[in-house]
A and B are shown apart, each in its own frame.
Chain A
Amino acid sequence: MSISLRNVRKDYDQQTKVLEKVSAEVQTGEFFVIVGPSGCGKSTLLRMIAGLTPITDGEVRINDRVVNELPPKARKLTMVFQNYALYPFLSVWDNVAFGLKARKLSQSDVQNRVNNALKMVNLTDFKNRKPRELSGGQRQRVALARAVASDADICLMDEPLSNLDAQLRIRMRQEIYNLQRKLGLTLIYVTHDQVEAMTMADHIMVLNDQHVQQIGTPAEIYQHPANEFVAQFFGTPQINILPAKRSAENSHLLTVGSNDMQVALNEEVPADQLRIGVRPDELTISRADSVDSNAVVKNTEFLGNETIVYATLNSGDNVRAVLPGQVNFRGYEPIKVQVGSHLLFFNNDGERIGLTKEEAVHA
């Protein structure tokens, strides 16, 4: 079951325009993740695919058939709601069976599907309990079991893990991923958690500011973000974005900050002003005397296997660097910060431009 969005648009009313020109192709059996900050319209988009919210303009196709006017039922999908939407008056077993019975499946078929689904989410022992007698994670799994038991091939999930604690979230992440693979579901998964997106998705759609910012595989999104927003959304600690200028003497040379660092390009620098993006683990830091230094250490955080160093360049820009192992710096110790070989370049509108850095660094 493939899903395709063509120039989908949603205005709740004249003032609240939520989404514009959203286009995407979701292949059969794909794990498709929609991410974005709170309020960017992720749930709205999901609900439009489900048919719960009308579409202002554009087309939603399922299996190449326009479904704009189709009621939710006819779209043959299941949805896992953020708050689970379990029926408190039914047992776990009946909760899972409810939709199947409503779809008038035969009794033996219902039995099989429900039992299998409960086994898959490890809830067989709890099948006679009421939802209120379950923990948050178990309720979550009941909601998942409903999706698993359904005969629909498309499953929509709206931040299904947001209410769980960190450990359970990691476990459920794997369970959902395995289930999706095992059942070959076409899964559209909404989250605002970049880690969930990176670890589970075949493709990620990044939404912000009413528009699709980028669609791509996790690797593409991380390595080749379309713009500063995407670059900043993925990766912890956040990527460093620093202003850079074309050097007056050499048009291949970029100076970063107030001449704190220099980057030589293979081609001419296309504009007077640019911004460069450096992942924190692409920065190298060495101790330097105050003449040689281009930054001072503000703070360090030791995480066990690595150390995050917060430093301020002479230009006043703050940078974050991740160094392996334990590194000790004094506060305000002068250091020399250098950029590694993987750099991202953004124009003044925040769009990424494809430039390549020359191998040898002219420091």
Chain B
Amino acid sequence: MEMVAKQKLPQKILNYVLLIILTAVVLGPFLIGLWTSLLPTMDIAKGNFLSLHISLTNYVDAFQKTPILQYLGNSLWISTLTTIAQLIFCSMSAYAFVFLRFRGRKVLFILFLATMMLPFEAEIIPNFMTVKAMGLLNTYSAMIVPFLTSAFGTFMLRQSFLQMPDELKEAADIEGLGHFQFYWKIVMPYNRISLITLGAYGFLGAWNQYLWPMLTTFSNAFRPVQNGLRQLQSEETFNDWGMIQATAAIVVIPTLIVLFVGQHYFKSGMNEGAVK
């Protein structure tokens, strides 16, 4: 703050001009999208973007004429389950890497990390074969099972668990807490900021999946939102752009909620006193 206050006026102006330009670049498309979602498709088609025929009709239409609710429900279900599963499995494997002593712990962890180097796209074909062989195509499972855990989540939580003071484990040993009690009553609450971060990350990752659901779902009953949007656009012979914009806006809302809530927790946790 002090630094900013001490800056000379011209430099300050320059800074703000730059910031405003960047903000416009970043927010611009988003705002245009939001704006067009309020306009009748006729105006959009004519390129009359400054029209004043603003209404929420597109939104009402979206809910009434398209399976957007079904898509939202699918995505919510898939993302929630994926998030919960990732939190449980990643925290448990991270716990094992930090608090259990077993042979080959280091090697196993390196193997774990190595899987992070592999982009998901490279795994798509074998994954697809597996899912197909298991008869899971076009089910929720197809979109959840491959993402039940993540090497990144384990890695991130392991780093966080390693920061815990040894004395907490020792105090728990003296109180006679078993591994599961220690995990559940101390490790999880102690690291809740990391867990929330991972949860938000996992949720958004699942919510924004596109490639994988495109390959594994064929019906609206299981299709998540991102693919749903694409479907809407390709199904309609006459593209109702206003309505498609409205659905896109609806789809973004959960993402914004997750980010805002997550940020709130993240801030509150930053200055939490640790042990001493």
Contacts and interface: CB of A to CB of B under 8 A. Distances in A.
A and B are interacting partners: yes
A89 B189 contact: yes
A263 B189 CA distance: 69
A88 interface: yes
A85 B273 contact: no
B170 interface: yes
A141 B126 CA distance: 59
Contacts of B174: 50, 52, 72-73, 77-79, 99
Contacts of A131: 273
B82 to A, nearest CB: 26
B276 A87 contact: no
Given A77-B174, A102-B177, A85 B165 contact: yes
A185 to B, nearest CB: 15
Interface string A95-114: 00011001100000000000
Contacts, number: 74
Given A99-B175, A102-B176, A132-B272, A87 B190 contact: yes
Contacts of A72: 170, 173-174, 176
Contact of A86 (B175, B176, B189, B275): B275
The B interface is mostly helix, strand or loop, or mixed, namely: helix
A222 interface: no
Contacts of B276: 83-84, 136, 139, 163
Interface residues on B, range: 20 to 34
Interface string B182-195: 00011001101000
B167 A85 contact: yes
B181 interface: yes
B21 interface: no
A209 B240 CA distance: 85
B274 interface: yes
A103 B176 contact: yes
Nearest to A81: B167
B171 interface: yes
A231 to B, nearest CB: 35
B17 interface: no
B24 interface: no
B175 A52 contact: no
A54 B173 CA distance: 14
B257 interface: no
Given A82-B167, A85-B275, 6 more contacts: A72-B176, A88-B190, A89-B190, A89-B192, A102-B172, A139-B276
Interface of A: 47, 50-52, 71-74, 77-79, 81-90, 98-99, 102-103, 130-132, 136, 139, 163
The 6 closest A-B pairs by CB, nearest first: A132-B273, A73-B176, A85-B167, A99-B175, A89-B189, A81-B167
